[in-house]
């Protein structure tokens, strides 16, 4: 394990997807970067999410960021030699009643106006595309961008990749104090003090706490998302499956395991640090999943767990300069931030290195909450 350096050009707080991707692209831009993490690197939301990289489930405001991100996810191997277990089978977003069919139509139309085309499927065409869907599925939209990565594999690969590029990634280094210096910041962690010129808060659900150390209030709350994985089973589901109501994400990995999520809420929260399974919510999650893909009923559940996902009050990314704190930035809580991670990392590197970004990002600046 690497020791905490005494100083660094850029210090990233948080070794999840946002922090590691920011560090990776900053290092590629020639900057010296260290990443400090309170627990294990990749130990919270990034390691405990569904790995879904779906474009069509995203809010209109972040569609273009997500599309960029999926390109970057796809290129990680070629660009960095980082194998994140990426697959791009395309995805189906399903509707199971008349109201959901209307919502899906509306969403399809909205995406079209933004230049994102998804294809409408129902009746025989839907069954031909996905014979494994259950009779409750009335319609679906098909998006060939929809992809997945393996959160387990991606974590290991990104940490290794960042280290290869000279980034110090240090776990067990919870930040307890931050002092403004003439140039940059002096950050006290559980493993010692580190000085930096520039600070990036990428602490996911904990970003509010970290910003508070600097006296800045960020309206962040935490969802406790439950996830489940099945035993490895023969080829069954060959697409990424999502739900217009936001209550299902489902995919089968090449190793045969199926990962079932959908934002069903476990018990606990940031304050207590508890993240437990909620029995009835988990039942609902499986019932929705089996309704959409009946053959899942025959597979065995091997593990269910929950992870925190930090969400800003308006469920849009917290991205950009921290108001009133020079050389301090935030990259966190992007709602489905895992899928957007590489793009938000790249854009953060652009913002810090060049002072501007290749996609318009001002609307996501945390200053929007300053009142």
Partner 1 sequence: MTGRRVDDGLDRGQPFQFFLDGEAIVAYPGESIAAALVAHGRNVARRTTRADVPRGYFCGMGVCWDCVMVVNGTPNVRTCRTEAAPNMKVQTQRGVGEAS
Partner 2 sequence: MIDTDLAIIGAGAAGLAAATEAVEHGLTVTIADDNPRAGGQYFRQPPLPFRRNGQSWFDKEATRANALFDVLGHPKVTHIPDAVVWNLPEPNVLAVAAGDRSTRVRAGAIVVATGAHDRPVPFPGWTLPGVITAGGAQNLLKGNRMVPGRRIVVAGNGPLLFVVGASLVRAGVDVAAIVEAAPVNARLTAALPGLLAAPKLLRQAIDYRWTLLRAGVPVRTGMTAVAAHGEENVNAVSIAPIDGEGRIDRNRIERVDCDALVVGFGLTPSVELMRLIGCDLDFHPARGGWLPRRSTGFETSVPGVFAAGDGAAIGGVEIALLEGRLAALEAAVRLGRARDASVRRAALTHKLARIDRFRRAIERLFAAPCHYLDLLADDTVVCRCEEVTAGELKMRGREAWTSMVQLKSTTRLAMGRCQGRNCMATLASLVAQSMGEPIAKLAYPRTRPPARPIALGDLLHEPIAPPELPADPHLPRGQKVT
Which chain residues interact with partner 2 by CB under 8 A? Answer: 1, 40, 42-43, 47, 59, 152, 155-156, 221-224, 229-232, 245-247, 263, 265-272, 274, 277-284, 286-287, 289-290, 296-305, 311, 313, 315, 335
CA distance 142 to 107: 12
Partner that binds at residue 85, options partner 2, partner 1, none, CB closer than 5 to 8 Å by kind: none
Partner that binds at residue 221, options partner 1, partner 2, none, CB closer than 5 to 8 Å by kind: partner 2
Burial environment of residue 232 by CB neighbours within 10 A (0 to 12, 13 to 18, 19 or more): middle
The residue (of 145 and 253) whose beta carbon lies closer to partner 2 is 253
Q: Which of 124, 300, 355, 371 binds partner 1 (CB under 8 A)?
A: 300
The residue (of 94 and 258) whose beta carbon lies closer to partner 1 is 258
CA distance 284 to 155: 29
**CA-to-CA dists, residue 351 to 162, 201, 241, 345, 348, angstroms:** 19, 14, 34, 10, 5
CA distance 11 to 5: 10
The residue (of 289 and 352) whose beta carbon lies closer to partner 2 is 289
The residue (of 257 and 281) whose beta carbon lies closer to partner 1 is 257
CA distance 266 to 204: 18
CB 52 within 8 A of CB 242: yes
The residue (of 42 and 86) whose beta carbon lies closer to partner 2 is 42
Partner that binds at residue 83, options partner 1, partner 2, none, CB closer than 5 to 8 Å by kind: none
Question: How many residues bind to partner 1 according to rule CB under 8 A?
Answer: 8
CA quadruple 214, 218, 222, 223: dihedral positive or negative?
Answer: negative
Q: Is residue 294 part of the contact set for partner 1 (CB under 8 A)?
A: no
The residue (of 89 and 268) whose beta carbon lies closer to partner 2 is 268
Partner that binds at residue 63, options partner 1, partner 2, none, CB closer than 5 to 8 Å by kind: none
- Binding mask of the shown chain, residues 224 to 253, with x at each position contacting partner 1 by CB under 8 A: -------xxxx-------------------
From the CB of residue 228, how many other CB atoms can be counted at a distance below 10 Å? 22
In this structure, what DSSP letter does residue 368 have?
Answer: G
The residue (of 148 and 185) whose beta carbon lies closer to partner 2 is 148
The least CB distance from residue 235 to partner 1, in Å, is 8
CA distance 157 to 76: 10
The residue (of 156 and 335) whose beta carbon lies closer to partner 1 is 156
- Give helix 151-164 / helix 17-28 axis angle, nearest 10°: 30
Partner that binds at residue 101, options partner 2, partner 1, none, CB closer than 5 to 8 Å by kind: none
Cα 94 to chain centroid distance, Å, stands at: 21
The least CB distance from residue 233 to partner 1, in Å, is 6
First vs last C-alpha separation in the chain = 43
What is the Rg, in whole angstroms, of the alpha carbon atoms belonging to the chain? 20
Partner that binds at residue 233, options partner 2, partner 1, none, CB closer than 5 to 8 Å by kind: partner 1
The least CB distance from residue 256 to partner 1, in Å, is 4
CA distance 181 to 36: 19
The residue (of 70 and 229) whose beta carbon lies closer to partner 2 is 229
- Binding mask of the shown chain, residues 72 to 111, with x at each position contacting partner 1 by CB under 8 A: ----------------------------------------
Q: Which of 298, 354, 358, 360 binds partner 1 (CB under 8 A)?
A: 298
Partner that binds at residue 29, options partner 2, partner 1, none, CB closer than 5 to 8 Å by kind: none
Interacting residues of 118 by C-beta distance below 8 A, sequence separation 6+: 56, 93, 108, 111, 141, 142, 143
CA distance 6 to 254: 43
CA distance 276 to 354: 43
Question: Interface with partner 1 by CB under 8 A: which residues?
Answer: 231-234, 255-256, 298, 300
């Amino acid at each position: 394990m690497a020791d905490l350096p005494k100083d660094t050009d850029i210090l990233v707080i948080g070794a999840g997807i946002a922090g590691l991707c920011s560090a990776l692209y900053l290092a590629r831009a020639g900057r010296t970067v260290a990443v400090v993490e309170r627990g294990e690197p990749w130990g919270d939301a990034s390691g405990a999410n569904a790995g879904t990289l779906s474009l069509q489930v995203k809010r209109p405001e972040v569609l273009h960021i997500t599309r960029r991100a999926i390109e970057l996810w796809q290129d990680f191997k070629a660009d960095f030699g980082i194998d994140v277990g990426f697959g791009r089978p395309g995805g189906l977003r399903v509707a199971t009643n008349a109201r959901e069919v209307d919502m899906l139509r509306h969403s399809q139309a909205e995406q079209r106006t933004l230049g994102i085309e998804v294809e409408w499927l129902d009746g025989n065409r839907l069954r031909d595309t996905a014979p494994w869907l259950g009779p409750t599925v009335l319609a679906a939209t098909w998006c060939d961008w929809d992809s997945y990565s393996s959160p387990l594999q991606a974590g290991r690969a990104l940490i290794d990749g960042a280290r290869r590029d000279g980034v110090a990634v240090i776990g067990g280094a919870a930040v307890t104090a931050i002092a403004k210096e003439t140039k940059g910041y002096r950050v006290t962690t559980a493993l010692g003090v580190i000085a930096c010129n520039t600070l990036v808060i990428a602490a996911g659900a904990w970003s509010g706490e970290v910003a508070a150390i600097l006296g800045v209030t960020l309206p962040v709350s935490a969802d406790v998302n439950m996830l489940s994985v099945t035993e490895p089973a023969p080829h069954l589901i060959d697409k990424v499956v999502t739900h217009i109501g936001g209550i299902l994400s489902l995919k089968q990995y090449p190793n045969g395991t199926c990962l079932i999520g959908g934002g069903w809420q476990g018990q606990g929260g940031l304050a207590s640090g508890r993240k437990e399974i909620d029995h009835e919510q988990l039942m609902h999650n499986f019932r929705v999943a089996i309704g959409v893909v009946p053959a899942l009923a025959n597979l065995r559940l091997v593990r269910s767990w929950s992870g925190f996902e930090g969400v800003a009050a308006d469920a849009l990314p917290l991205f950009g300069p921290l108001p009133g704190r020079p050389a301090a930035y935030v990259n966190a809580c992007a709602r489905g931030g895992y899928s957007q991670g590489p793009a938000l990392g790249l854009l953060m590197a652009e913002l810090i290195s060049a002072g501007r970004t290749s996609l318009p990002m001002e609307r996501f600046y945390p200053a929007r909450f300053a009142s």
